[in-house]
């Protein structure tokens, strides 16, 4: 992966991350990525390979619905009245 | 398929929301509580739009005189999950819940029938290019309910798009047909 400069609306720090990791950030935040410059990088989920340096363009870095449903178990203990007093 | 990307002030039938939680069960034993919840990446609202509208008017409406009862309040909103079509073909869309589903051959008749919406259980959706959702499948068998206040709370943050009326009516009709189907011997 080459260097990739981009402007992220929601302030993710993507320094040193792969495009997959960047995409993952977007999936979580829902933020759109607006790329100002792309340097000859090929990526499966961006259109950056067609981008011209210095040309402002919007790329859809990821699509929703790539992930699968997940289960989380939360365990907690109730506080009894006795322990409060 | 046509969609709206503008957020409405209320929940609408055909709205697609991301990251919606479903409480699977709550156990309480000797003061220890265990809550199991499933997070669905995408769901679509199936509750009738007029019911959602009346609920909104009764809860938050500014019309005067204010309703004196809560007669039109909904207890929950009916939704169904949207699964990534590619995961559905492989039967792996619920593998993180330890549920193995039947694979559907993408390139042969089963896959084609799915995409033509000829399988009553499923509704295949392709979104326009401006909507960042992969081709997806609604599984009507996996419908569930979400608390109204909870959905309202996440509405602004988690709204993705709303399916336009013609297409949402098609989804609604197919869902109703699926629920009311009769299995003849």
Q: Which pLDDT score is estimated for A33?
A: 34
- Chain B residues at the A interface, defined by Cβ less than 8 Å, are 18, 24, 28, 31-42, 81-84, 87, 92-97, 132-134, 136, 157-158, 160
* In chain B, domain spans: 3-179
B34 → closest Cβ in A67, A70, A75: A75
What pLDDT, on the 0 to 100 scale, is given for residue B69? 87
By C-alpha distance, which of B67, B61, B73 is closest to B10? B61
Answer whether B83's CB lies under 8 Å from B16's CB: no
- Give the contacts of B68 (CB within 8 A, at least 6 positions apart): none
Q: Looking at beta carbons, which residues of chain B come within 8 Å of A69?
A: 38-41, 81, 93-94, 96-97
Report the residue of chain B nearest A33, measured CA to CA: B132
CA atoms within 13 A on the CB side of A16: 0
The pLDDT averaged over each successive group of 10 residues in chain B (185 residues) is: 79 95 93 94 96 92 82 94 96 94 95 96 92 93 96 93 93 96 89
Closest partner residue to B134 (CB to CB) among A65, A76, A78 is A65
Chains A, B: CB contacts under 8 A, how many?
84
Question: If you measure CA to CA, which chain B residue comes closest to A79?
Answer: B31
pLDDT band at A83 (very low <50, low <70, confident <90, very high): low
The residues near B182 (Cβ < 8 Å, ≥ 6 apart) are none
Contact criterion met (CB < 8 Å) for A65 and B41: yes
Cβ-defined contact of B84 to A65 (cutoff 8 Å):
yes
B36 and B21 Cβ atoms separated by less than 8 Å: no
Determine the pLDDT at residue B3.
Answer: 79
Query: How many other β-carbons are positioned within 10 Å of the β-carbon of residue B36?
Result: 14
Q: How far is CA B146 from CA A37, B22, B115, B136, in A?
A: 42, 7, 28, 21
Q: What is the pLDDT of residues A21-53, one digit of tens each?
A: 444 444 443 333 333 333 333 334 444 445 455
Interior angle at CA B140, CA B105 and CA B135, nearest 5: 50
Spatial distance between the Cα atoms of A14 and A23, rounded to a whole number of angstroms: 10
Give me the pLDDT at residue A81, please.
66
Fold of B3-179: SH3 type barrels. (2.30.30)
> Which residues 5-24 of chain A have a CB within 8 Å of chain B?
none
Helices (H), chain B: 49-60, 85-90, 109-115, 148-158, 165-179
Contact A62 B87 (CB under 8 A): no
Domain boundaries, chain A: 4-84
The pTM assigned to this predicted structure is 0.74
The answer, yes or no, to whether ipTM is higher than 0.90 is no
């Amino acid at each position: 992966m080459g260097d990739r400069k981009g402007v992220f609306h929601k302030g993710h720090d993507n320094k040193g991350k792969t495009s997959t990791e960047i995409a993952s950030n977007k999936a979580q935040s829902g933020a759109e990525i607006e790329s100002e410059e792309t340097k000859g990088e090929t990526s499966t989920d961006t259109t950056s390979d067609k981008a011209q340096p210095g040309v402002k363009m919007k790329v859809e870095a990821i699509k929703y619905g790539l992930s699968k449903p997940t289960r989380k178990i939360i365990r907690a203990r109730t506080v009894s009245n006795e322990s409060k007093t | 398929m046509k969609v709206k990307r503008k957020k409405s002030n209320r929940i609408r039938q055909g709205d697609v929301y991301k990251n919606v939680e479903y409480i699977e069960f709550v156990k309480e034993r000797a003061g220890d509580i265990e809550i199991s919840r499933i997070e669905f990446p995408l769901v679509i609202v199936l509750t009738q739009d007029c019911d959602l509208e009346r609920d909104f008017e009764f809860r938050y409406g500014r019309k005067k005189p204010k309703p004196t009862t809560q007669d039109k309040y909904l207890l929950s909103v009916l939704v169904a999950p949207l699964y990534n079509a590619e995961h559905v073909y492989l039967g792996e869309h619920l593998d993180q819940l330890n549920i193995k589903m039947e694979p559907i051959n993408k390139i042969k008749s089963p896959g084609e029938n799915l995409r033509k919406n000829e399988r009553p259980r499923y509704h295949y959706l392709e979104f326009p290019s401006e909507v960042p959702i992969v081709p997806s499948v609604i599984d009507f068998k996996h419908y569930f309910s979400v608390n109204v206040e909870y959905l309202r709370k996440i509405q602004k943050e988690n709204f993705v798009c709303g399916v336009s009326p013609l297409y949402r009516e098609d989804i609604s009709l197919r869902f109703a047909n699926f629920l009311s189907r009769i299995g003849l011997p």
